Amino acid sequence: MESGKYKSGTTLIEILIVVAVIMLLAGMVLGIAAGIDNQSKEKAVKATFELLESALQEYYDFRGVFPVAADANPNVNCEILYAELNSLPGSREVLEQISDKIIQNKSGPTGVPEIYDPWGTVLDYRYDAAVDSFPRLISAGPDRNHGIGDPAAAADNITNK
């Protein structure tokens, strides 16, 4: 029997190090991908806001006022906004340019569609003629929390202002 000869192969420690490096790289790639995904969703929200602002301007040019958002509930405000903009031909034309992927409840029980952000949360619409010169459009952002009554939760909200 010869001493001093070792069988070649990998040790458990080497395998664990390789797995750890692979997990670290995968975590970095997933983090970067999530950041890119959020950036593209933010751009989609801003593009939707531009269309809604154009539709609101068409509405204002015809009626001389903006639709009133009378409720603290984003679902109700969004329904009011969609119904009002859809009621006029000029603003309806602009509204039709918004992707069908983000308009839901077209044939729902209320019969009034709602506009959602890419994270799946209904957009909020705020307008107080005494305070605002132009309506505010609000997306709850990645955390899907509008932050009503909780300013910390509203930190990632996306608005048109």
Structural domains present in the chain: 24-159 (3.30.700)
Measure the CA–CA gap between 46 and 76, rounded to whole angstroms.
21
The first and second tokens of residue 153, run together, are 């939760």
The first and second tokens of residue 33, run together, are 């991908």
Is residue 101 pLDDT above 90, yes or no? no
Q: Mean pLDDT score of the chain, rounded to an integer?
A: 85
Q: What pLDDT is stored for residue 61 in this prediction?
A: 93
Whole-number percent of the chain with pLDDT over 90: 27
Q: What pLDDT is stored for residue 109 in this prediction?
A: 54
Q: What pLDDT is stored for residue 143 in this prediction?
A: 85
Q: What pLDDT is stored for residue 106 in this prediction?
A: 63
Measure the CA–CA gap between 119 and 138, rounded to whole angstroms.
13
pTM above 0.85? no
Give the pLDDT confidence of 35-92 residue by residue, as tens digits: 898 899 999 999 999 999 999 999 999 999 998 876 677 778 888 888 889 888 988 8
Measure the CA–CA gap between 86 and 94, rounded to whole angstroms.
9
Q: What pLDDT is stored for residue 2 in this prediction?
A: 57
Mean pLDDT to the nearest integer, 116-140: 87
Report which of residues 96 and 19 the model is more confident about.
19
Q: Are strands 158-159 and 136-139 parallel, antiparallel or unpaired?
A: antiparallel
Question: Per-residue DSSP letters for the chain?
Answer: --SS-------HHHHHHHHHHHHHHHHHHHHHHHHHHHHHHHHHHHHHHHHHHHHHHHHHHHHSSPPP---S-HHHHHHHHHHHHHTSHHHHHHHTTS-GGGEE-TTSSS---EEB-TTS-BPEEE--TTT-SS-EEEE-TTTT---TT-TTTTTT-EE--
